[in-house]
Structure 1
Amino acid sequence: MSTLERPEAGLRRAKPAVIDEVFASDVLAGLSKPQKELPCRWFYDTRGSELFEAITGLPEYYPTKTEAKILTACALELSGLAGPRVAMIEYGAGAAVKTRLLLDALEAPLYYAPVDISAAFLRGVAENLAREYPAIAMRPIIGNFLSDLEIPTELQTAQRRLGFFPGSTIGNLSDDEITAFFRRARRQLGEDGMLVIGADLRKSPDILIPAYDDSAGVTAAFNKNLLARINRELGGDFDLERFSHKAVWNDADSRIEMHLVSDIAQSITLLGKSFDFAGGESIHTENSRKFSVPGLQSLAEDCGWRPVRVWEDPQKLFSVQMFG
């Protein structure tokens, strides 16, 4: 058995002393639906983040490597379009590898404002980057990029606000959520603001399925880790060995779906509630939508954005799109 999986037995666990009420509410609501589901934002505890970093290095997983190559190639052109002395706001800040590509290329940027729901994570990102970029003022913004954000007023002193939304995280969102994001970003970045988005493109399922169900089982471990987190933080009794990872291509909705499939009929309990599973029943844990360039541009234009530039890799696996 792979050490990446670290399965936990389905032992009944004591209720933790401190519970994240938002996490608990999301889990209870999701498991109560006819098609059980769990929001993908809860993947990223410490172990989940480690596993995702491992995924990005897998030979089957093209998005991270391809986007980084595109950004490396287009960074100077992007900088010229954005102009000097910008304030860069990154929605859903990650490990900041791609962030550095832009900060290195931009002309005398004034501010960097990463957005994330975790205050501790943001502090770490800001502290690390502050040491590397002492001339750029770090202004972390604690919040969910799908909600209204309080943008520090000093960022308005920059010549332009530049939004950065990499990693095709936009592919986790529904059309309604994408529309809401575009509209909020228009308000937050201002009428002369610009927005750079990394968006994965439609392609053959022969490429997509291995990217989300790798031969080493790392994505399976990443998916199952969500159940381990529920066990640890909410006192659940999921037996990870009785659930299997599954990735499927939904052509009608142009998305890869990740599921955790119950191998047998079983019941699990957490927070005083019981949830029954039929054999073969699944928990839907993530959507990863794949776009056409015109399709994403149309959604953006409906929300007041104008397409400025599109960069793609030679195989047209991935796109970086700029809007103004």
Structure 2
Amino acid sequence: MSRAFEITRTLPEDTTGADLRADVLGGLTAEPKVLPPKWFYDARGSELFDEITTLEAYYPTRAEREILLARAGEIAEATGARTLIELGSGSSDKTRHLLDALPDLHTYLPVDVSESALTQAAQALAEERPGLAVHALIADFTRELDLPGDPPGPRLVAFLGGTLGNLLPAERAGFLRAVRGMLAPGDALLLGTDLVKDPAVLVAAYDDEQGVTAAFDKNVLAVINRELGADFDLDAFDHVAVWDAEREWIEMRLRSREATTVKIPALDLAVDFAAGEEVRTEVSAKFRRDGIAAELAAAGFELARWWTDEGGRFALSLSTVPDAAGNGNAQTV
């Protein structure tokens, strides 16, 4: 018998527009200028990112899928999850490997800011799996989450794709604490993280020869033009990807080719750019096992399992919520 598909909105209808205005105003008047990466992802940006994931130079998606295919059974056995909560679920494509492997799964709870992506993916999964309760949540996972209903435990939170690396260190700490706060002893966190490697490999993944990542990076300017009436000339900016060895992260930037002034009528703002001036549009941190373990421990998790792809490029880690005696629900390996 089919369980009902439900969708709950905790993100107010006007939040996206208000957040965009605040981020653009604050970011383009800052020194140096910054724009948050979440504004890449309108319909066009999502199409471009899907294209990026098929490029030979962009390994993270393939590497993570390799691990999921090989280890989904172990994840299921270690967690015994009855509820799967996926943060930033998007199309829920990779999640199907987990859904197939979890024999006792009762509820799938995808969380995303995009109502259209959520509805399409969640409805499809509900139809494919009539015994599964699918409850989609329109919410910003970087803010405090209130889970709808009382999904049964054990609960497994999945945060895949290396998205943790897009958060700055203080943001990561707050995010992990918030995830820990919505879980109970016996629950677990499945985390995808890209690993530190040869900088040439990393830069190539974020600056492909085909120019797809450049178009993706510049799409944030197209979003601002459309939503705020700005007059950015996308051809006047170059995409740049730089490895910061000290912080161990990739920075994506947009560099102005010449001195120019951009008008943003919705903000009553004119922004001056010097020739060669850059706007940071994304940070993508890369990790080491010891560092991940320390960040998880600081948030109240215990790292229990660690898997990498065959090439050692990407990692999936499974962390547990210890009980009062300090015991998790998965044997540490």
Contact 2:126 2:134 in 1 (8 A): yes
CA RMSD for the aligned pairs?
Answer: 1.1
1:153: how far off? 2.9
Number of residue equivalences: 303
Letter in 1 for 2:51: A
Match of 1:77 among 69, 74, 77: 74
**CA deviation vs aligned residue, 1:245-269 (integer Å, no higher than 9, x gap):** 0000001110000000000011000
1:181: how far off? 1.4
Q: Which region of structure 1 is more displaced relative to structure 2, 181-190 or 98-107?
A: 181-190
- Match of 2:182? 188
Contact 2:91 2:117 in 1 (8 A): no
- Match of 2:160? 166
The correspondence of residues 215-226 of structure 1 with structure 2, limited to 5 A, is: 215-226=209-220
Are 1:133 and 2:129 counterparts?
yes
The correspondence of residues 65-214 of structure 1 with structure 2, limited to 5 A, is: 65-83=62-80, 86-155=82-151, 158-214=152-208
Q: Secondary structure at the match of 1:95?
A: coil
- Match of 2:36? 39
1:187: how far off? 1.7
- Match of 2:233? 239
Letter in 2 for 1:255: W
Please give the alpha-carbon distance, in whole angstroms, between the structure 2 residues aligned to 1:225 and 1:175.
26
Contact 1:141 1:150 in 2 (8 A): no
Please give the alpha-carbon distance, in whole angstroms, between the structure 1 residues aligned to 2:184 and 2:41.
31
Contact 1:213 1:220 in 2 (8 A): yes
1:206: how far off? 1.2
Please give the alpha-carbon distance, in whole angstroms, between the structure 2 residues aligned to 1:230 and 1:294.
39
Please give the alpha-carbon distance, in whole angstroms, between the structure 2 residues aligned to 1:93 and 1:45.
15
Please give the alpha-carbon distance, in whole angstroms, between the structure 2 residues aligned to 1:210 and 1:245.
13
1:25: how far off? 1.4
- Match of 2:287? 291
1:191: how far off? 2.2
Contact 1:186 1:193 in 2 (8 A): no
**CA deviation vs aligned residue, 1:224-254 (integer Å, no higher than 9, x gap):** 1111111111100000111000000001110
Q: Secondary structure at the match of 1:124?
A: helix
Q: Percent identity?
A: 43
1:275: how far off? 0.3
Please give the alpha-carbon distance, in whole angstroms, between the structure 2 residues aligned to 1:159 and 1:287.
34
- Match of 1:53? 50
Please give the alpha-carbon distance, in whole angstroms, between the structure 1 residues aligned to 2:169 and 2:149.
30
Letter in 1 for 2:79: A
**CA deviation vs aligned residue, 1:83-108 (integer Å, no higher than 9, x gap):** 15x10000111221111010011112
Q: Unaligned 5+ residue runs, structure 1? A: 1-18
Q: Unaligned 5+ residue runs, structure 2? A: 1-15, 321-333
TM-score (norm 2): 0.89
- Match of 2:3? none
Are 1:320 and 2:319 counterparts?
no
Structure 1 runs (4+) greater than 4 angstroms displaced: none
Match of 2:306 among 297, 305, 310: 310
Please give the alpha-carbon distance, in whole angstroms, between the structure 2 residues aligned to 1:319 and 1:277.
39
Letter in 2 for 1:90: E
Contact 2:256 2:277 in 1 (8 A): yes
Please give the alpha-carbon distance, in whole angstroms, between the structure 1 residues aligned to 2:218 and 2:173.
31
